[in-house]
Structure 1
Amino acid sequence: MVWDNSRKAKETPPDTPASAVDERHSAVRTTLFGLQHVLVMYAGVVIVPIVVGSALGLSDADIAKLVSIDLVLAGIGTLLQSLGVWKFGIRMPLVVGAASNGIIPMVLVGENHGLPTVYGSILVGGVIWIFMAPLFGMLLKLFPTVVTGTVIALIGLTLIPVGLRMIVGDDPEDPGYGKLSHIALAGFTIALIVVFRRLLKGVAGQLSILFALIVGAVVGWAVGIGDLSHIGAGPVIGLMGPMHFGTLQFHLPSILLFLVIIFVITVEASGQGVAVGQVVGKRVGPSDIARLLRVDGLMTALSGLFSGFVYTTFGQNIGLIALTGVRSRFPVAVGGVILLALGVFHPVGEVFASFPKPVIGAAAVVTFGALIVTGVQLLSSVDFNRPSNLMIVMISLSAGLIPAYIPDFYTRMPHLAEMFLESGVATGTALAVTLNLVFHAGRRRGDGSAAPPGEGRPGSGEEPRTD
């Protein structure tokens, strides 16, 4: 990667769809944009190792090591997605992190068979995922505009509660739940984002979220929200070696359980790939989705050896892209380098981990809201005079939001069904694809068939381009 450090960075002409993705900024701008991406998605990365480690009764030292290896693997995956190597990586501004869907099978298998079986299953699942990626990539034709817009809006709507829980807490029984000071700090951070975006121009305006995060964190620390006392208490540099928890073991039922979760994640990740293509204005084809999924599979397979997690391409930063207008993949690549540094140099990661959750939650709510707007913009091109399109959107969104509104809705379902249904994005995506096939399969593309994105506007009633 060659940076132009001149006062005005050389940029590719903006007249081609790919130019925004390949746009080059100065090293300083790129680093600041990359840092902004990391801060928005950091909490989502580190929460999985903390939850898994706590649920399995691991020591604080082992949980800290899990966080470190998780950040390193997330950094490598983010670099691969943004820059691409051979057939791995979509070469788009997407980040990679530990999938929350993987928490349940890791805890279940870990409690019953031990962590060596967990990581043996993850290794096998990741390898299978890599080889199955082209097959999943071919399913892109099932995502016309009416489906894509629904999925993007659903991703944003599903993520909003995640940001809100960072502000008020996860447990209503906790005495600290919903503290007014936390809500006030979150409101202050959002106000800063608005003020900075309104007053600052150019690059400074695009970095308004980063500036608001920093100022909000300083204010939070000053009033006692967020803990800085643990910084520097542990080792400065350190990573776990391969098979830290013992020689890998392979158990067929456990492997099958992880494969079910991988299928769910594949549906979600494919939607993220289509979503980022819409945001940056670049068409995403089956080969792109296959390259995206190969990275998820590779990082999952590596985590089987290095005691990581099930990995997936995140959608947390897509809203940030839509909000700032910075669609280049290179800042996200720098974000991958920052994640690697956070994983290797513990004090740096500890500072970021100490950012008050209400501040991070406020920024998350804003960026996830931008993602919802992107989905709505896509759906505005759909012809809702067709009752079929109305049915697709309203049923898919309603069903996909059930886990966000009532997390225990599916608790009486068979366990495998529950693991799929508790992912609102996977449920809503599967429903949107299925309903689109029910209503439009077999029709000509001009009347709403499930044609690939970019070939007309399937579901909108427009004729496809013939030039």
Structure 2
Amino acid sequence: VVLGVQRFAPPFLSRIAVLIGIAVGLAVAVPFGFTDFGGVGDSDWLGISTPFHFGAPTFHASAIISMLVVALVTMTETTGDLIAVGEMTDRRIEPRTLSDGLRADGLSTILGGVFNTFPYTAYAQNVGLVGMTRVRSRWVVAAAGGILVLLGLLPKLGAVVAAIPAPVLGGAGLVMFGTVAASGLRTLARVDFEDNHNLTVVAVSVAVGVLPVGVPAVYEQFPDWFQTVMNSGISAGCLTAIVLNLLFNHLPSRGGSAAPETKGLAGGSGEDAVEKPREEVV
């Protein structure tokens, strides 16, 4: 339905192809008994989250270290999403833009923690929506944020959304996640892979990221804290990319096959890549 609307419907309807696809999928799922709206009747019409509902915050070293690792991963994911949006909107992403985006992530996470939610991160599906709808106005995004705040005060509506079957959401998600993947491939296509270690960085990072998906039990003998980070393909791939990029492209060469030091994504890309003399190994 999403693909059909996007291809054959008028421009206005094609911009909301995902919403139409979810609505049609929900309409089909109801008569087949795939939905349960029992929670809608039990929900209130108006509700406000109680700050610190589970008590005052406590601080433990192990939890802080784990959260720092998770924060590093989410920052990497957010950086990738911002770069993808920049590619779609033909806007160059400057360091200041990335900093502002990461600060917004941190501020929203702090605010969300007060109201008993998990840490926030940029949502990759929204990047896909930008590519599908071609709506690039920040005013639209701000207005949508205001609408979401109002909807968050309506528990009944939240119960309706929760009743949407996972296959319906998954069908719409296929298109959006695919768009994100395509944007990532387009970004990688601009990276300079000649006479450097960027190919190794990308290859190993992708392999490590896919590993827990292809072999779910690969880390079952490791400690819980290790599994928490590495069982997520996104987390595993991000951490691997960060470590390998630092190792191969930012630390001085001490041995092995030295490569020109470059700057840019994964160590260098396009016209931004600057070649420096190889360090002599004695």
TM-score range, shorter chain: 0.7 to 0.9
Q: Any conservation in 2 of the 1:266–1:293 contact (CA below 8 Å)?
A: yes
| Matches of 1:375 and 1:250, distance apart in 2 | 37
**Partner residue in 1 for 2:168:** 359
How many Å apart are 1:289 and its aligned residue?
2.3
Q: Partner letter of residue 291 of structure 1?
A: D
User: Cα gap change, 1:417/1:229 in structure 2, threshold over 3 Å: closer, same or farther?
Assistant: closer
**Partner residue in 1 for 2:257:** none
How many Å apart are 1:449 and its aligned residue?
1.0
**Partner residue in 2 for 1:458:** 268
Map 1:270-309 onto structure 2 (within 5 A): 270-309=79-118
* CA deviation vs aligned residue, 1:54-96 (integer Å, no higher than 9, x gap): xxxxxxxxxxxxxxxxxxxxxxxxxxxxxxxxxxxxxxxxxxx
* CA deviation vs aligned residue, 1:122-157 (integer Å, no higher than 9, x gap): xxxxxxxxxxxxxxxxxxxxxxxxxxxxxxxxxxxx
Map 1:67-82 onto structure 2 (within 5 A): none
Map 1:13-52 onto structure 2 (within 5 A): none
Secondary structure of the 1:394 match is helix
| Matches of 1:392 and 1:249, distance apart in 2 | 38
Map 1:103-252 onto structure 2 (within 5 A): 192-252=1-61
How many Å apart are 1:193 and its aligned residue?
1.5
Q: Any conservation in 2 of the 1:241–1:306 contact (CA below 8 Å)?
A: yes
* CA deviation vs aligned residue, 1:277-305 (integer Å, no higher than 9, x gap): 22222222222222222222223323343
**Partner residue in 2 for 1:263:** 72
Alpha-carbon RMSD across the aligned residues, in angstroms, is: 2.9
Q: Any conservation in 2 of the 1:437–1:450 contact (CA below 8 Å)?
A: no
| Matches of 2:199 and 2:61, distance apart in 1 | 43
Length-normalised TM-score, structure 1: 0.51
Structure 2: gaps of 5 or more residues? 254-259, 275-282
Identity, % of aligned pairs?
33
How many Å apart are 1:436 and its aligned residue?
4.1
| Matches of 1:243 and 1:303, distance apart in 2 | 10
Q: Any conservation in 2 of the 1:226–1:357 contact (CA below 8 Å)?
A: no
* CA deviation vs aligned residue, 1:296-332 (integer Å, no higher than 9, x gap): 2223323343322222222221112122222223333
From 186, 200, 205, the equivalent of 1:396 is 205
Q: Any conservation in 2 of the 1:448–1:459 contact (CA below 8 Å)?
A: no
| Matches of 1:403 and 1:215, distance apart in 2 | 33
Length-normalised TM-score, structure 2: 0.81
* CA deviation vs aligned residue, 1:41-66 (integer Å, no higher than 9, x gap): xxxxxxxxxxxxxxxxxxxxxxxxxx
Q: Partner letter of residue 228 of structure 1?
A: F
| Matches of 1:448 and 1:373, distance apart in 2 | 28
Q: Any conservation in 1 of the 2:89–2:136 contact (CA below 8 Å)?
A: yes
* CA deviation vs aligned residue, 1:212-242 (integer Å, no higher than 9, x gap): 2111211111222212233232221112322
How many Å apart are 1:363 and its aligned residue?
0.4
* CA deviation vs aligned residue, 1:80-114 (integer Å, no higher than 9, x gap): xxxxxxxxxxxxxxxxxxxxxxxxxxxxxxxxxxx
**Partner residue in 1 for 2:278:** none
User: Cα gap change, 1:440/1:213 in structure 2, threshold over 3 Å: closer, same or farther?
Assistant: same
User: Cα gap change, 1:415/1:384 in structure 2, threshold over 3 Å: closer, same or farther?
Assistant: same
User: Cα gap change, 1:386/1:221 in structure 2, threshold over 3 Å: closer, same or farther?
Assistant: farther
| Matches of 1:321 and 1:341, distance apart in 2 | 22
| Matches of 2:63 and 2:205, distance apart in 1 | 31
How many Å apart are 1:439 and its aligned residue?
4.5
Identify which of structures 1 and 2 has the higher relative contact order when contacts are C-alpha pairs closer than 8 Å and 6+ apart. 1
How many Å apart are 1:440 and its aligned residue?
4.3
Structure 1, 249-258 or 225-234: larger mean CA deviation: 249-258
How many Å apart are 1:383 and its aligned residue?
4.8
Aligned: 1:429 with 2:238? yes
Q: Any conservation in 1 of the 2:37–2:163 contact (CA below 8 Å)?
A: yes
How many Å apart are 1:368 and its aligned residue?
0.4
Secondary structure of the 1:419 match is helix
| Matches of 1:250 and 1:264, distance apart in 2 | 21
| Matches of 1:402 and 1:239, distance apart in 2 | 41
From 129, 149, 164, the equivalent of 1:340 is 149
Q: Any conservation in 1 of the 2:81–2:122 contact (CA below 8 Å)?
A: yes
| Matches of 2:56 and 2:225, distance apart in 1 | 28
